[in-house]
A and B are shown apart, each in its own frame.
Chain A
Amino acid sequence: MSVAVEGKRRDGAAASSVRFVYDPSLAEYELSPEHPFRPERLELTRTLLEAVGALSPEAYAGVTPIPERELARVHSTRYIDAVRHASHGELEDEAYSFGLGTGDNPVFPDMHEAVLRVCSGTVSAVELVASGEALRAVNLAGGLHHAMRAKASGFCVYNDLALGIRRAVDAHGLRVAYIDLDVHHGDGVQWLFYDSPDVMTISLHESGRYLFPGTGHTYETGRGPGRGTAVNMPLEPFTEDASFLEAFESVVPRAVEVFQPDLIVLQAGADMHRNDPLADLNLSLAAMGASYRRVVELSEGFTGGRLVATGGGGYDPYRTAPRAWALLWAAVTGQELPEDVPAAWRERWASRSPVALPEHMVDDPSAWTPVPRRATVSSHNRAVASRLMEVLETIWSGRGAQPERAVEDREDSP
């Protein structure tokens, strides 16, 4: 079996200039003990990286707290107040209208502070890269891409990605290409920058026809001055490695080339994997690792290597998320990982894991039972990618007609 991350360390991507944003308190964003969004993934990944020797002490970077008022660059003040009150035991009826106190977004004590730290982590990563202190930075606790301007949604309370992107745009004047590889559409980030010509959002996801949040159609392409800066590639259920990578290649490099960003922000949700219990894409870790490598290559081609990456979804916390994010770290640092998962790491976590821990860093899809509809899935994805690019190229070349009537604003779009 081959490992997904191959090749030598690249110029300008020395591991020492890539930072791993870390603080134990980042794991305090735990929505509830039974909730599928598991903070243990952070420690599982960090210990796996240390076990394979891929995470040196010099790579660690702390979290610089952002001022609370910075939240208001992305969220409404009424919403921020509601989150704060709810976090401190004052859950008012009004909280429900902000998406709080539901099965997906239960309120827990000091939630406001916990999610503010996650946001600070992602903004810290952006600051490290934008200031030139690091070439790349990773905040695996980040990736809360569903949070809306005035609403908690899809396990996400505040939108750390949007805050990081705002910092890059407003404080550093950067053009940001946001690439979202979570299995769910990156709706929060998309709507928050739907009108913005400074930010391109690119999301690959399982089709909204079948999966939350229901959006991410190809015809969501941005609005007004932001027209042509939202890119959505919905994928059929059961999409496998080859079809996913083909779709990625058809869409992402061209979009990045057209946009010419100064910085790439990658949301690397680990839930496109076959083992994810909340969605139905059938990727293996090989393709996920390959896609991270391609994003790194795009950063080398277009942003001088500058890249910020976060975690995101990923509801197979013991088997999949740690390996996916180890591959992500390997990709951004240009390191190779061993083929095998160290026995010491497996022993350390075996008693807590409800499933057998994997022996290899990438899985062997040839051992999996073939998925149904393989040919249909691939040809459908190919057709969607081709139509999407036709639509986008028309807009990008300036030939696209403006829509006659503005699409009704989403409540949460800016």
Chain B
Amino acid sequence: MLVQDIMTRQVVAIGPEMPIRDVNVLMEQRNIRHFPILENVGKGPARTGPDDQDAAVDRLVGIVSDRDLRLVGADHPLAPAGVAATDPVRRVMVAPVLTAHPLDPIEETAKTLRENKIGAMPVMEGDHLVGIVTGIDMLDALVRMSGVYEAATRLEVEVPNRPGALASLLAAIAERRHNVSSVMTSRADAESVTFVLRVATVDGRRLAEHLRGQGFVILWPVDKTREP
């Protein structure tokens, strides 16, 4: 899955001169927490790309999030010194901006978001702002990838960390003609790998027994007679 598969394409961008209090209002109105800041957008209303060709070719000069605005004007030791709500947003914006490319794999982008403790990255194709991707988009992608929207029985299986182990697990499930709606790796070390699978069958117990019979270590469903 790539950034272009999960990003928001209609980006709301603002200019560096927009007063901070107006940015706050816009965040509230549009239910958005991050605005890319484009050089030639004035004090006035935001622009939405990429249909807006002007916005698309404009230069990205910063980004602002709700966190950057939260303490403006507050009586707080961490409040930005000497900044008032009437000041232009460029006073609190963050630059340079970490950006993503539409063809970046989402796991790379997720890693960048986490390592830099940021919530969103504008997506650039050369100098063109073509989208924005946020932590929430990542969470939505994870939910979709987990297959949780399909009716299924959830299995956790530990297999040896060697070539063909997953293939033999899937072959054992295919023997019973069950469709697998998702496979995820939840843990791995030198000896073993744990996979979380969602399998479209009512009878998860019989499937688990079948797999145990073939030597697989089934971690879930658990033995329900034990205290959790």
Contact = CB atoms under 8 A, between A and B. Distances in A.
B225 A373 contact: yes
B176 interface: yes
Nearest to B174: A103
Given A99-B179, A408-B140, A408-B143, A211 B153 contact: yes
Interface string B206-228: 10000000000000011011110
Interface in B181-228: 198, 200-206, 221-222, 224-227
A104 B206 CA distance: 12
B154 interface: yes
B202 A104 contact: yes
B148 interface: yes
Nearest to B204: A212
A154 B177 CA distance: 13
B225 A36 contact: no
Interface centre among B31, B143, B178, B203 (most CB of A within 10 A): B203
B17 to A, nearest CB: 30
Contacts of A146: 151, 202
B179 A278 contact: no
Interface residues of B, number: 29
Contact of A280 (B150, B151, B178, B224): B224
Interface in A254-282: 277-278, 280
A184 interface: yes
Contact of A103 (B148, B201, B227): B201
Contacts, number: 76
A329 B150 CA distance: 34
A372 B228 CA distance: 12
Contacts of B221: 210-211
Contacts of A103: 176-178, 201
B203 to A, nearest CB: 5
A404 B177 CA distance: 40
A151 B179 CA distance: 13
B137 to A, nearest CB: 12
A106 interface: yes
Contacts of B177: 101-103, 106
If over half of B's interface residues share one DSSP class (helix, strand or loop), that class is named, otherwise mixed; here it is loop
Given A212-B204, A214-B198, A96 B151 contact: no
Contacts of A213: 151-152, 202
B194 to A, nearest CB: 18
Interface in B77-119: none
Interface string A63-107: 000000000000000000000000000000000100101111010
A56 interface: no
A102 B178 contact: yes
A29 to B, nearest CB: 16
A155 interface: yes
A238 B224 contact: yes
Given A103-B178, A212-B204, A372 B225 contact: yes
A101 B203 CA distance: 16
Contacts of A96: 179
Interface in B132-170: 140, 143-144, 148-154
A106 B226 CA distance: 35
A212 B224 contact: no
Nearest to B31: A404
A230 to B, nearest CB: 16
A260 B153 CA distance: 35
Nearest to A146: B151
B224 A102 contact: no
A211 B204 CA distance: 7
A376 interface: yes
B45 to A, nearest CB: 23
Nearest to A184: B202
B150 to A, nearest CB: 8
Nearest to B224: A237
A376 B227 contact: yes
A8 interface: no
A11 interface: no
Contacts of B153: 211-212, 214
A187 B224 CA distance: 23
Nearest to A148: B151
Nearest to A371: B225
Interface centre among A36, A153, A187 (most CB of B within 10 A): A153
A399 interface: no
Contacts of B140: 408
B203 A36 contact: yes
Nearest to A153: B151
Given A103-B176, A373-B225, A214 B202 contact: no
Contacts of B227: 373, 376
Interface string A372-414: 1100100000000000000000000000000010001011000
9 contacts: A104-B202, A104-B203, A146-B202, A211-B153, A213-B202, A214-B151, A214-B198, A373-B227, A410-B149
The 10 closest A-B pairs by CB, nearest first: A213-B151, A103-B177, A237-B224, A212-B202, A212-B153, A103-B176, A372-B225, A103-B178, A154-B202, A153-B151
Interface of A: 36, 96, 99, 101-104, 106, 146, 148, 153-155, 184, 187, 210-215, 237-238, 277-278, 280, 372-373, 376, 404, 408, 410-411
Given A153-B151, A184-B202, A212-B201, 5 more contacts: A106-B177, A278-B202, A278-B206, A373-B225, A373-B227
